[in-house]
């Protein structure tokens, strides 16, 4: 199912698919990403298979706001990052012992997106894993037509937000080691 982002029911349909354990492709504030409920192990496993990604490479989790960090980590967001959130910065924090997820071990990568569509989706779906919508090690896909061609039969819904002109991944910042692991859209 392909839904234009401007379609009135697109967000609700996408959230329903995610809550029901499905896999979506959505535009994010960086690139197109696969999306699934962060707490649904079967849906996350399905993304690993679709991407052809090794299990030892964890997925990032999109959360609706900084208050949601506490669901995953007991470490607060470092002061130096507060002004950059929400935005295209992924921060790595120690995973709390209260949470057990098969796709992470010891740490978790979180991001609070600065995008109206994603904020509304996250309000309805809850936290989602959102790795880039491309095969493991393959270039980013910026064309909706290409995403549909490659993945329409493998996912449950594709949200068409148009082709991405300025595709750049998020910056990844290790809050434990206090260092940039990947420089992306946000300068740290």
The 3-state DSSP class for residue 148 equals helix
In terms of DSSP bridges, do strands 171-174 and 179-182 run parallel, antiparallel, or are they unpaired?
A: antiparallel
Indicate yes or no: pTM above 0.75: yes
Q: Are 63 and 51 in contact (CB under 8 A)?
A: no
Region 47-53 average pLDDT: 93
Q: Are 167 and 184 in contact (CB under 8 A)?
A: no
Average pLDDT, rounded, for the chain: 91
Q: Are 30 and 168 in contact (CB under 8 A)?
A: yes
């Amino acid at each position: 199912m392909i839904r234009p982002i401007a379609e009135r029911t697109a967000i609700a349909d996408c959230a329903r698919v995610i809550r029901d354990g499905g896999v979506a492709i959505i535009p994010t504030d960086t690139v197109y990403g696969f999306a699934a409920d962060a707490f649904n192990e079967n849906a996350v496993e399905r993304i690993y298979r679709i991407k052809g990604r090794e299990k030892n490479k964890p997925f990032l989790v999109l959360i609706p706001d900084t208050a949601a960090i506490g669901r995953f980590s007991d470490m607060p967001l470092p002061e130096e990052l507060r002004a950059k959130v929400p935005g295209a910065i992924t921060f790595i924090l120690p995973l709390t012992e209260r949470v057990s997820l098969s796709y992470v071990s010891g740490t978790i990568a979180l991001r609070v997106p600065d995008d109206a569509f994603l904020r509304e989706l996250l309000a309805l779906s809850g936290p989602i894993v959102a790795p880039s919508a491309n095969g493991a090690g393959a270039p980013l896909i910026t064309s909706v037509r290409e995403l549909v061609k490659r993945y329409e039969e493998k996912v449950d819904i594709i949200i068409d937000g148009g082709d991405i002109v300025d595709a750049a991944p998020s910056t990844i910042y290790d809050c434990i080691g206090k260092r940039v692991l990947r420089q992306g859209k946000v300068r740290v």
